[in-house]
Structure 1
Amino acid sequence: MSGDQLSEVFDLIEVRGLLSGGFAVRGPWVSRGVIRDSLKLLAVVSGRVRLMTDGLDRPIDLAPGDVAVLNSRSWVELRGGTGDGPPVELVPEEIDPGAALVGADLDVDDIVLGGRVDINDAGRALLLQALPPVGHVRGTAASATALGTSLDRLFDEVSGNRIGSAFAIRQYCQLVLLEVVRAYLDQAALPPGWLRALADDRLRPVLALMHAEPGRHWGLDELARAAAMSRTSFAERFRTVAGVPPVAYLNRLRMMLAQRALRDDDARVGSLAAELGYSSDSAFSTAFKREVGESPLRYRYRVREEASAR
């Protein structure tokens, strides 16, 4: 198994970045809208934008290359542009980004791209818990160089309307999401959760062990040695950084692996239980139902029915 735990977890929770909107406008403007997605991204390609949403005491000023990450927010207001006269009101639901950005001028227009993040049920709480209500990734930071490049390429594809653009847009949306997470890990203090744990130099070797052998019965002493810490210090640091004790993190990892196997493979429940370190089918099924809310077989049937209905 790869030592890249971020990629592995992204695969487990089936994370996808998707373009959901965008506009180019000159002069003063304002855009207000209800947020229907759990996790929304707003990226400024050019111009300067003032963002306000529920939970903020004051607006956030976004510069070119900046991305705002809105986690479980209910509304957003964006303002920008200069000049005389009342601001043009933009209604997000009425904007087709493909049509709105064709012919946009980076030197003159304010250009904003909107995106959403789709994740499966297993990852929803995991990812939302790991991010703050509002995050601000600054495009001027050294860690955001690749983010700026990905944003520029995404804009080129959306505005260029070339053959194969739909495929390219999907790929660049994925890259933008990845670069947002990478840059945010370097720029901000994360709340306790798996993203913060992945960024912790002392805990990273421990997570590598658990991800490499999730079915092994890891002892606290063994994990503490991997972190080069005492048992007590390690247990305290892990809980503080990850938000849960090591055994709870390992159990959640096992359940995500189980959901992927039940969703994508034809593995028998008994074989899966043994692979993930459970002493019996019933012990695995009990743990699965406690975490997921339904039995392994019922979960497999439901997700496959939902996939075939799409």
Structure 2
Amino acid sequence: MRPGDPLSEVLDLVDVRGVISGGSAVSGAWVSPELDMSGALKFMAVVRGGMRVHAAGLSGPVELTAGDVAVLNHRDRVVLESITPRGLPRRVIDEVDVDDDVVALFGSAQDADDIMVGGHVDLNPAGHALLAPVLPPVAHVRASAPAATGVRRILDRLFEELLAERVGSSFAIRQYGQLFVLELLRAYMHQTDLPPGWLRVSIDEQLRPTLALMHGEPARRPSVDELARAASMSRTSFAERFRAVAGMPPVAYMSRWRMLHAQRALRDSDIGVGALASHLGYASESAFSTAFKREIGESPLRFRQRQRRAIAGRHSSGGGSA
């Protein structure tokens, strides 16, 4: 990882993964059944043609054309339809599961009017808490935006893999799904006025030196004066700017950052709670447990047990999180 790359550091901690999970290749006038996407962050990318996205809570449909992507933020009652004159009768299409026969579907329908690829953004609970609040109900990333060239490039390579059926295609599709989400975030951040939060602070050039101090050693607690000096700002100006960009004071941000490390360690390793408390700079296991419960809502041990049960449940069912 490039030193001082706050976005990469956060994405690593919240385990962001892009999972390609469906698609359609159809011609003529069509409409989907009503879809419930309230349980996850879903994305839909148009490879060819276009479609309209209707979702509960929107003032009107979002129209996507080739290269456009929509990220649906926990939406229910979603309906997709072709961009054709509204008076034409529309046939109902079904979703297609990538794990079944989406490659064969695309391979046999390369000349279809409308080709779409869909999937979801897989995150751990901390990631959902960070990402969902800063995204609108439907985030529309337009292919025409200067920052979206990477989205189109990855989308083309992804579709090429879906069609080629080459050795290693499944692995390549997973990797392109990962890069696709990164390019989506990059494009979205540069075409939109972001609300205060971790996405906005992670791309703020003036605050980058302070994030390097905050992220570098979770056990270290640099003072606000030290952070202000790193940003070449006065203490007051720094505190005001950081709060306006991050949506919280610097001390609260550092506490949140330590808790992200704690959640990942409790979920993915066998480190003891006392050792973890020391690693994160807490004076005692009790002080860490109190801070963790205040921030997360349950004790470290209960959090670990619940996460392990959830992981075991997903593995036993043969699937990932949606």
Q: TM-score, normalised by structure 2?
A: 0.89
**Contact 1:33 1:92 (C-alpha < 8 Å) held by counterparts:** no
Alpha-carbon displacement from aligned partner over 1:69-97 (angstroms, at most 9, x marks no partner):
11121122222254895122113378853
For residue 20 of structure 1, give the secondary structure of its aligned residue in structure 2.
strand
For residue 35 of structure 1, give the secondary structure of its aligned residue in structure 2.
strand
Do residues 203 (structure 1) and 204 (structure 2) align?
no
Alpha-carbon displacement from aligned partner over 1:227-254 (angstroms, at most 9, x marks no partner):
2222222222212211111111111110
Alpha-carbon displacement from aligned partner over 1:11-30 (angstroms, at most 9, x marks no partner):
21111111121101111112
**Contact 2:37 2:72 (C-alpha < 8 Å) held by counterparts:** no
**AA at the equivalent of 2:170:** A
Do residues 287 (structure 1) and 291 (structure 2) align?
yes
Question: Could you say which residue in structure 2 is the equivalent of 1:216?
Answer: 220
Question: Could you say which residue in structure 2 is the equivalent of 1:111?
Answer: 115
Q: What is the Cα-based RMSD across aligned positions, in Å? A: 2.1
For 2:264, which of 247, 260, 267 is the aligned residue?
260
**Contact 2:52 2:63 (C-alpha < 8 Å) held by counterparts:** yes
**Contact 1:157 1:168 (C-alpha < 8 Å) held by counterparts:** yes
Matches of 1:23 and 1:252 in 2, distance apart?
Answer: 40
Deviation at 1:172, TM superposition (A): 1.0
**Contact 2:44 2:116 (C-alpha < 8 Å) held by counterparts:** yes
Do residues 188 (structure 1) and 192 (structure 2) align?
yes
**AA at the equivalent of 2:102:** P
Alpha-carbon displacement from aligned partner over 1:162-220 (angstroms, at most 9, x marks no partner):
33222221111111111100111111111211001112122222112101122112211
Matches of 1:94 and 1:44 in 2, distance apart?
Answer: 17
Question: Could you say which residue in structure 2 is the equivalent of 1:102?
Answer: 107
Query: Could you say if the C-alpha distance between residues 89 and 250 of structure 1 is closer, same or farther in structure 2, counting changes exceeding 3 Å?
Result: same
Runs of at least 5 residues in structure 1 that lack an aligned partner in the other structure = none
For residue 244 of structure 1, give the secondary structure of its aligned residue in structure 2.
coil
Question: Could you say which residue in structure 1 is the equivalent of 2:64?
Answer: 62
Do residues 156 (structure 1) and 160 (structure 2) align?
yes
For residue 103 of structure 2, give the secondary structure of its aligned residue in structure 1.
helix
Question: Could you say which residue in structure 1 is the equivalent of 2:23?
Answer: 22
**Contact 2:21 2:97 (C-alpha < 8 Å) held by counterparts:** no
Alpha-carbon displacement from aligned partner over 1:17-47 (angstroms, at most 9, x marks no partner):
1112110111111224221432111111111
Query: Could you say if the C-alpha distance between residues 117 and 80 of structure 1 is closer, same or farther in structure 2, counting changes exceeding 3 Å?
Result: same
Matches of 1:41 and 1:24 in 2, distance apart?
Answer: 16
Question: Could you say which residue in structure 1 is the equivalent of 2:319?
Answer: none
Percent identity of paired positions between Structure 1 and Structure 2: 57
Query: Could you say if the C-alpha distance between residues 203 and 79 of structure 1 is closer, same or farther in structure 2, counting changes exceeding 3 Å?
Result: same
**Contact 1:104 1:159 (C-alpha < 8 Å) held by counterparts:** no
Matches of 1:294 and 1:56 in 2, distance apart?
Answer: 35
Matches of 2:76 and 2:170 in 1, distance apart?
Answer: 29
**Contact 1:103 1:159 (C-alpha < 8 Å) held by counterparts:** no
**Contact 1:52 1:58 (C-alpha < 8 Å) held by counterparts:** yes
Question: Could you say which residue in structure 2 is the equivalent of 1:78?
Answer: 80
For residue 277 of structure 1, give the secondary structure of its aligned residue in structure 2.
coil
Runs of at least 5 residues in structure 2 that lack an aligned partner in the other structure = 316-322
Alpha-carbon displacement from aligned partner over 1:236-295 (angstroms, at most 9, x marks no partner):
221221111111111111011012122222323222212212111111011111222222
Q: TM-score, normalised by structure 1?
A: 0.92
**AA at the equivalent of 1:64:** A
Matches of 1:146 and 1:103 in 2, distance apart?
Answer: 27
**Contact 1:13 1:122 (C-alpha < 8 Å) held by counterparts:** yes
Question: Could you say which residue in structure 1 is the equivalent of 2:318?
Answer: none
Matches of 1:199 and 1:131 in 2, distance apart?
Answer: 16
Question: Could you say which residue in structure 1 is the equivalent of 2:303?
Answer: 299
Question: Could you say which residue in structure 2 is the equivalent of 1:92?
Answer: 95
Query: Could you say if the C-alpha distance between residues 176 and 3 of structure 1 is closer, same or farther in structure 2, counting changes exceeding 3 Å?
Result: same
**Contact 2:4 2:208 (C-alpha < 8 Å) held by counterparts:** no
Segment of structure 1 superposing worse, 131-140 or 171-180: 131-140
Matches of 2:102 and 2:266 in 1, distance apart?
Answer: 37
**Contact 1:35 1:75 (C-alpha < 8 Å) held by counterparts:** yes
For residue 161 of structure 2, give the secondary structure of its aligned residue in structure 1.
helix
Question: Could you say which residue in structure 2 is the equivalent of 1:46?
Answer: 48
Instruction: Give the paired residue count.
Output: 309
**AA at the equivalent of 2:210:** V
Question: Could you say which residue in structure 2 is the equivalent of 1:13?
Answer: 14
